[in-house]
Chains A and B, each alone.
Chain A
Amino acid sequence: MNGDFWGVPVNVWTILAAALVTYATRAGGYLVLSRFKRIPPRVDAALNAVPAAVLTTLVAPSVVSNGPAEALTLLICLLIGLRLPMMGMFAIGWVVIVALRATGI
């Protein structure tokens, strides 16, 4: 998109609007929830599941949509991650993906 609106590039307006809707999502869930005095136990349980639920959706397609090197790396990381802390798994996973890609599988 090119052109100006009120002397400011349209791209800048678009970026600012995108920033505004992003902030709205980041504050919105809290603003809705804070209208309730107490959170019912099931809703509380559902909210406790949010991190695992969302983060899983950021990983799962990477397992199946890339190649064998990527899928194998995540499988190895899964096994390592059940035993080692985060940073250890992260470092080993980095080495594994580089090594597997270097083999060209």
Chain B
Amino acid sequence: MSPTRSDFYQGLRDSLPIVAAAAPFGLLFGTLAVDNGLSVGEAVLMSATVFAGASQMVGLELFDTHVAPWIIVLSVLAVNFRHVLYSAALGRRLGGMAWWQKAIAFFLLTDPQFAASEARTDRKLPLTLPWYLGMGLPVYVLWIIEGWIGAMFGRLITDPGALGIDFLLPIYFLGLVLGFRARPGWLPVVIVSGIASVLGFYTVGSPWHVSLGALAGVIVALILPPPPAAQIEAVEVTP
């Protein structure tokens, strides 16, 4: 197999757990979308263009409440604000991509896509477009299809709780957090982000706890003494 094809297949393999973990949420989104007054077409349009599960759910909660459209857009922005950090962090790794490849890459930049890309960098493997698409396209295409199926036949899953599928994402995210434990400052960052997000969750409320908790953790990394010189060679940024 050529390196390009094997990169693509490695990406496909890396996408399997997230495809499984995201499926119930894709279906749930479609179901709730129709419940909240969107047409099937609008539900599919939202999955295909926004492609950010948590923010889609938050948007849905508001569609039914006669809230002004700009409030809905602002809420989506609030939930998705963490992607600014993803894009800043991952942008450093995409030096090998042309601008239009980066433009595509950023469209697919979800939580698991970001986490998998960073994990691949930790394993010193190249972040090529074939790998990136192998990881991202199955998640994207299935997300749209799941939204559509959910909108069409949403009431088939009567009790997702008994099957545990509503709790797969926290388990998956915990696994991802642990995957980064070799990085400098990991433990203090995780402890501070965890405490700050719980405090934020109970005071300011969701979804702001995500941005606040993440910011607290990133500030800890900013003020911790920098890691040994070997690891901190300033990274070239190619525009």
Q: What is the interface of chain A, defined by CB distance below 8 A to chain B?
A: 1, 9-19, 21-23, 25-66, 70, 73-74, 77-78, 81-82, 86-87, 89-90, 93-94, 97-98, 101-102
Which of B66, B94, B178, B220 has the most chain A CB atoms inside 10 A of its CB? B178
**A1-B63, A1-B66 in contact; A45/B226 too (CB < 8 A)?**
yes
A1 touches B88 (CB 8 A): no
Choose among A1, A57, A73, A102 the residue that contacts B167 (Cβ–Cβ < 8 A): A73
Q: Is the interface of A mostly helix, strand, loop or mixed?
A: helix
A51 touches B89 (CB 8 A): yes
**A22-B51, A54-B86 in contact; A13/B197 too (CB < 8 A)?**
no
8 Å CB contacts to A: which residues of B55-83?
A: 55, 59, 63, 66-67, 69-70, 72-73, 76-77, 80-83
A86 touches B193 (CB 8 A): no
Q: What is the interface of chain B, defined by CB distance below 8 A to chain A?
A: 17, 21, 37-39, 42, 45-46, 49-52, 55, 59, 63, 66-67, 69-70, 72-73, 76-77, 80-92, 94, 102-103, 106-107, 109, 111, 114-115, 118, 161-164, 167-181, 183-186, 189-190, 193-198, 200-201, 206, 209-210, 212-224, 226-227, 232, 234-239
Given contacts A26-B86, A29-B86, 5 further A-B contacts (CB under 8 A): A11-B42, A37-B237, A52-B190, A60-B193, A90-B168
Which of A31, A53, A82, A89 has the most chain B CB atoms inside 10 A of its CB? A53
Choose among B69, B171, B183 the residue that contacts A73 (Cβ–Cβ < 8 A): B171
